Amino acid sequence: MGTRQICAVAQMTSTDDLAANLRVAEALIGEAAARGAVLCALPENFAFLGSREGAALAVAEALDGAGPILTMLRRAARAYQITIVAGGLPERTAEGGTRIHNCCTVVQPDGTIGAAYRKIHLFDVALADGSVHQESAQVAPGQEVVVADTPLGKLGLSVCYDVRFPELYRALVDGGATHFVVPAAFTLHTGKDHWHTLLRARAIENLAFVLAPAQVGRHNDKRVTYGHALIVDPWGNVLADGGSEGTGVVVAALDVALQQKWRRELPCLDHRVVGRAG
């Protein structure tokens, strides 16, 4: 692995049209590969973002199954020889029932599943703009912290609301993570004030690269998201920003040698006193 690796993060406006969303996602993966990316990250809910509570249950898949979501991801990974981080996809839970997992899934270039993280922190809030979100009504929380081996290095997996819990990212660093992925469908109301700040904070405090694919725009009469798919370096610099409009991918070359230099010069991770594993 070289010291500079090109990665891509996607920005989408997903709806309740599964087939249309998958066509867009596959095209974006192809664009990422054409631009030299070894890894492409898709946003949370890339395959399905509906307005009706519980609707995602009908399209949920098992990771070892052959449903349309996993079929597309495996096909695209093989065709483009690229690692795909599939944001948060609707995964059937082992016990079945009325809830799913919001699962961040790493698909390797040979089409196999390299890692899967079930979102731990669920978005149960009533916001000042009048919107109410009760993710736990349809999503079962995960329990495990997951670090995946990727062409970029050790990638700590998270999803959207997780970004507000810095202790998760400390645990990912303790697991060896040098990069984080934060696929999201951030609300417009919170995104305009918090999105850039939170992502840059997670990068700076851990001296880690942050890859944040995002949903953008109006999805239905109940949901508008902030956009601004970001790639942030370990010093907190924004290397790429997808903006507030439109579907596409943004790419950046990540300089791992520079990250290692910064971690040597500013060894704050070694200076931790409270909460360090071991």
Q: Give the residue numbers marked as catalytic.
A: 44, 119, 160
Distances (CA, A) of 181 to 58, 108, 132, 187, 197: 27, 16, 26, 18, 15
**Which residue stretches of 36-165 are H helix?**
68-80
Centroid of chain to Cα 98: 24
Contact yes or no for 9/213 (Cβ under 8 A): yes
Residue 83 has which token pair? 């690692």
Distances (CA, A) of 240 to 4, 10, 233, 258, 274: 15, 11, 10, 17, 33
DSSP of 104-135 = EEEE-TTS-EEEEEE--S--EEE-TTS-EEEG
Measure the CA–CA gap between 166 and 65, rounded to whole angstroms: 33
Contact yes or no for 123/161 (Cβ under 8 A): yes
Give the orientation angle of helix 188-206 with respect to helix 166-174, to 10 degrees: 30
Nearest to 205 by CA among 245, 166, 248: 166
Residue 175 has which token pair? 């697991």
Measure the CA–CA gap between 184 and 224, rounded to whole angstroms: 12
3-state SS class at 267: coil
